[in-house]
């Protein structure tokens, strides 16, 4: 029998190979999946998820640890000083507030707690202050601690690891080919350098992006491949929620089918990663949410996001259990 070229293989055959090898598809194969039959793609992604990904659902929550008037011009972000979105502005929150929020997350059965700060990077005095808070958190809340604080140096990241942070988050946001149309005040390369510095500092890394910002399906694949090259195993999938006052405020909502196709393709690229529901997914229907769990989502940010409302935690937990995951 004549062998079928890789780029002509069906989702089923590609899934067979991914499961057997434990390795994700190539760029050409991922591009083929953009036009693959929708139901066959989802069913094949489900098989990969069951065979290769963790069945223990990875939960985390986030707190906006410092809000507002960031000097960067990211077109999707309500916290940019370049735009006119209505948000609360405040400096680093108190240690007491961080501990209280972490304890609430723990009481809800959430496994991770992440502090997120606005701005390109923290100032040296803010690094020192937040390290003190992290040490207090580590001593008082039995929960894994994560941080997202911009383009920090390896030394700063090392200080946070020693204080108690175990994972650092820095989204690539979109593909290298599209990032420059959405942000001009820092680069994709700077983000990649930050993630590499975090690894050198002994931290796990978490990085993903936002879909629905006008990028093509191929550019979504470009994002995933860039993340895979960095060895990322926690991949947040945000769905754009157009925010009034930002340049993307009139961007049409991405259809649910596009969201689910993207998740399925990401599972082909990341067989064993934690594909993490993040911002924007609260607008999905219950049916689409359960389908996302079936075909690839095995992690989630729970509760509210930074500047947008999230989903109800108890409802989320019930749906995760209904999808067959352990918590």
| pLDDT tens column, 45-86 | 999 999 999 999 999 999 999 987 789 999 999 888 888 877
CB atoms within 10 A of CB 115: 26
CB atoms within 10 A of CB 6: 14
The pLDDT mean for the chain works out to 93
- Say if residue 2's pLDDT is above 50: no
Structure confidence at residue 304 (pLDDT): 63
Mean pLDDT of 149-162: 98
Q: Give the whole-number percent of the chain exceeding pLDDT 70.
A: 95
What pLDDT band is residue 8 in, cutting at 50, 70 and 90? low
3-state secondary structure of 308: coil
Bigger pLDDT: 87 vs 196: 196
- Say if residue 147's pLDDT is above 90: yes
The DSSP result for 221-267, as a single string, is HHHHHHHHHTT--EEEEEE----TTSTTTTPPPPPHHHHHHHHHHHH
- Say if residue 311's pLDDT is above 90: no
Closest CA relative to residue 152, chosen from 89, 78, 208, 205: 205
Element (H, E) at 168: strand 167-169
275: which strand partners? 235, 297
What pLDDT band is residue 240 in, cutting at 50, 70 and 90? very high
126: CB partners within 8 A, 6+ apart? 66, 92, 117
- Say if residue 7's pLDDT is above 90: no
Bigger pLDDT: 187 vs 6: 187
* CA distance to 72, 126, 173, 194, per residue, from 121 (Å): 10, 10, 17, 11
DSSP for residue 180: H
Structure confidence at residue 80 (pLDDT): 87
- Say if residue 4's pLDDT is above 50: no
Pairwise CA distance, residues 136 & 173, whole Å: 31
CB atoms within 10 A of CB 167: 20
Structural contact between residues 57 and 327, judged by C-beta atoms closer than 8 angstroms? yes
Closest CA relative to residue 229, chosen from 205, 213, 249, 245: 205
Closest CA relative to residue 290, chosen from 327, 321, 262: 321
Bigger pLDDT: 88 vs 266: 266
Pairwise CA distance, residues 30 & 218, whole Å: 8
Q: Which two tokens stand for residue 175?
A: 């593909």
Q: Give the whole-number percent of the chain exceeding pLDDT 90.
A: 84
Domains and CATH numbers, the chain: 37-42+52-322 (3.20.20.70)
Q: pTM of the predicted model, to two decimals?
A: 0.93
Closest CA relative to residue 260, chosen from 240, 283, 289: 289
Structure confidence at residue 306 (pLDDT): 54
* pLDDT tens string 267-307: 999 999 999 999 998 889 999 999 999 999 999 999 765 54
Mean pLDDT of 19-40: 97
């Amino acid at each position: 029998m004549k062998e079928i070229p890789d780029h002509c293989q069906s989702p089923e055959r590609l899934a067979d190979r991914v499961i057997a090898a434990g390795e994700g598809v190539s760029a050409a194969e991922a591009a083929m999946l953009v036009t693959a039959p929708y139901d066959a793609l989802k069913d094949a992604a489900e098989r990969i998820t069951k065979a290769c990904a963790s069945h223990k659902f990875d939960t985390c929550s986030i707190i906006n640890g410092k809000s507002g008037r960031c000097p960067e011009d990211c077109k999707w972000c309500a916290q940019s000083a370049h735009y006119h979105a209505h948000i609360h502005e405040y400096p680093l929150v108190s240690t007491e507030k961080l501990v209280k929020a972490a304890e609430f997350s723990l009481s809800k059965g959430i496994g991770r707690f992440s502090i997120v700060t606005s701005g390109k990077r923290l100032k040296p005095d803010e690094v020192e202050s937040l390290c003190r808070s992290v040490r207090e958190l580590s001593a008082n809340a039995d929960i894994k601690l994560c941080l997202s604080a911009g383009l920090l140096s390896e030394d700063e990241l090392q200080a946070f690891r020693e204080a108690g942070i175990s994972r650092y988050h820095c989204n690539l946001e979109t593909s290298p080919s599209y990032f420059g149309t959405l942000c001009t005040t820092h680069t994709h390369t700077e983000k990649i350098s930050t993630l590499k510095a975090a690894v050198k500092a002994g931290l796990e890394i978490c990085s993903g992006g936002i879909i629905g910002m006008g990028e093509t399906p191929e550019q979504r694949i470009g994002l995933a491949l860039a993340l895979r090259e960095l060895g990322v195993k926690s991949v947040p999938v945000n769905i754009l929620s157009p925010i009034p006052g930002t340049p993307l405020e009139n961007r049409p909502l991405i259809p649910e089918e596009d969201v689910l196709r993207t998740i399925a393709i990401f599972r082909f690229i990341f067989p064993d990663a934690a594909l993490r529901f993040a911002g924007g997914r609260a607008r999905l229907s219950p049916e689409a949410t359960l389908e996302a769990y079936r075909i690839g989502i095995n992690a989630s940010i729970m509760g509210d996001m930074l500047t947008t409302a999230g989903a109800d935690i108890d409802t989320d937990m019930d749906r995760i259990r209904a999808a067959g995951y352990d918590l």
